[in-house]
């Protein structure tokens, strides 16, 4: 039996001296090439789960195996080598506002560069060529020298995607990538993620707020409730009853077309 690409074992995260249990014994695994969507109410632990994988947040207990390696045990130097194969896309884009789009895109290569090269900003010719290619891929080659904060939200998120592409990732973590965007822009951003998943074979973990988006793009859905895994299955399995169970009885489904 081959081992899964990503495996969580009893992952637990407790914030601030035991006051908030954000994740409680979460165990599941993800196969290579899946597009896994994580849903759940606000505060259910979606962001915490994603951030534990590349250890932007330190898990409190349990293990996470990425390609067979338990990342919770890695030293910070080794963690960096794992991180560079894991792209991340953020809800609020997290670009360096004062720098150009090109520099922002190139920053995806920092994990591959020596300390002094990155300090002096000496990106190689190939890196620069790759950056232009990736910007072209997300339709932003004509913005390469604009400042990041001069772009619209949707454009900024595409720069975020280009930055992740620069890492040549095996795994992509995206935390509510489209919740700051309008419906049309949301779909264009989601389609870039879908393309990465299908054409480049990147395994994608995305937390999403809209079930319609989750159904449309996910190959599999998991749901968290109060830090516990409460659903794991295919998008078609979520019917009215399951939906109420995940989001509470008051909830109504909203569509994003």
Partner 1 sequence: MRSPADDFQYQPPNLLTLEGFGEALGMLRKRMAERLSPFFLDLVLVAILWVLITYGVSWIVWKEVHYSLVPTWVFLVGILETVALWESFGQSLGYRVARKTLLGESRAKPTFRQRIVYYLLFHISVFPIIGLAWKRPLHERISGLSVAHNVRGGEKPAPWYRTSSGILVALLMAAILATTFSVTIESDTWRRFLANPSKAGRIFKALVSPDFSFWQDAVFKLIETIYMAIMATLIGVLVAAPLSFFAARNLTRTPVARLFYTLIRGILSFFRSIEPIVWAIVFLVWVGPGRNPFAGFLALLIHSIADLTKLYSERLESIETGPVEAITATGGSWLSVLRYAVIPQIINPYISFSLYRWDINIRMSTIVGLVGGGGIGQLLLLLLRAQRFSQAAICVYLIAMLVWGIDTLSSRLRRYYERGRIIQEEVAEESA
Ligand X SMILES: Nc1ncnc2c1ncn2[C@@H]1O[C@H](COP(=O)(O)OP(=O)(O)OP(=O)(O)O)[C@@H](O)[C@H]1O
Binding stretches for ligand X (CB under 6 A): 15-16, 20, 22, 40, 42-48
| Binding positions for partner 1, rule: CB under 8 A | 10, 12, 14, 17-19, 21, 24-25, 54, 56, 60-62, 80-88, 90, 92-99, 103, 107-113, 115, 118-119, 121, 149-150, 152-153, 160, 163, 167, 173, 227
Q: How far apart are CA 162 and CA 139, in angstroms?
A: 10
* Angstrom distances, CA of residue 24 to CA of 41, 42, 209: 15, 16, 21
CB-count burial class (<10 Å; 0-12, 13-18, 19+) for 60: middle
Shortest distance, CB of residue 176 to ligand X, whole angstroms? 6
44 binds Mg ion (CB under 5 A): no
- The pair of structure tokens assigned to 112 is 């591959």
Give the nearest distance from C-beta 3 to partner 1 in angstroms.
Answer: 22
Three-state SS letters, 101-128: HHHHHHHHHHHHCCHHHHHHCCCCHHHH
* Closer residue to partner 1, CB minimum distance, 82 or 224: 82
CB of 237 to partner 1, least distance (A): 26
Work out how close the CB of 220 gets to ligand X at its nearest, in angstroms, rounded to a whole number. Answer: 18
Using rule CB under 5 A, residue 54 touches Mg ion: no
Quick one: 102 or 223, whose CB is closer to Mg ion? Answer: 223
For Cα atoms 38, 222, 225, give the angle at the middle one, nearest 5 degrees: 85
> What are the b/e assignments for 236-245, b being 16+ CB within 10 Å?
eebeeeebee
196 binds, among ligand X, Mg ion, partner 1, none (CB under 5 to 8 A by kind): none
């Amino acid at each position: 039996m081959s081992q899964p690409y990503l495996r969580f074992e009893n992952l637990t995260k407790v914030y601030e001296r035991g006051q908030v249990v954000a994740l409680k014994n979460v165990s599941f695994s993800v196969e290579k090439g899946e597009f896994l969507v994580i849903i759940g109410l606000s505060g259910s632990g979606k962001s915490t789960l994603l951030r534990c994988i590349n250890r932007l947040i330190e898990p409190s207990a349990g293990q996470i195996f990425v390609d067979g390696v338990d990342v919770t045990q890695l030293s910070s130097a080794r963690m960096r080598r794992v991180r560079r194969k894991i792209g991340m896309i953020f809800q609020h884009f997290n670009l360096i506002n004062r720098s150009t789009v090109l520099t922002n895109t190139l920053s995806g290569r920092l994990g591959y560069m020596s300390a002094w090269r990155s300090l002096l900003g000496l990106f190689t010719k190939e890196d620069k060529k790759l950056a232009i290619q990736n910007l072209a891929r997300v339709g932003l080659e004509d913005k390469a020298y604009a400042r990041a904060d001069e772009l619209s939200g949707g454009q900024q998120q595409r720069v975020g995607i280009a930055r992740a592409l620069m890492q040549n990732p095996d795994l992509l973590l995206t935390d509510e990538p489209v919740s700051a965007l309008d419906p049309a822009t949301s779909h264009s951003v989601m389609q870039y993620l879908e393309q990465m998943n299908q054409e480049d074979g990147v395994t994608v973990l995305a937390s999403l707020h809209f079930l319609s988006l989750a159904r449309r793009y996910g190959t599999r859905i998991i749901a968290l409730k109060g830090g516990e895994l409460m659903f794991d299955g295919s998008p078609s399995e979520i019917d009215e009853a399951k939906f109420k169970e995940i989001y509470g009885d008051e909830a109504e489904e909203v569509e994003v077309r």
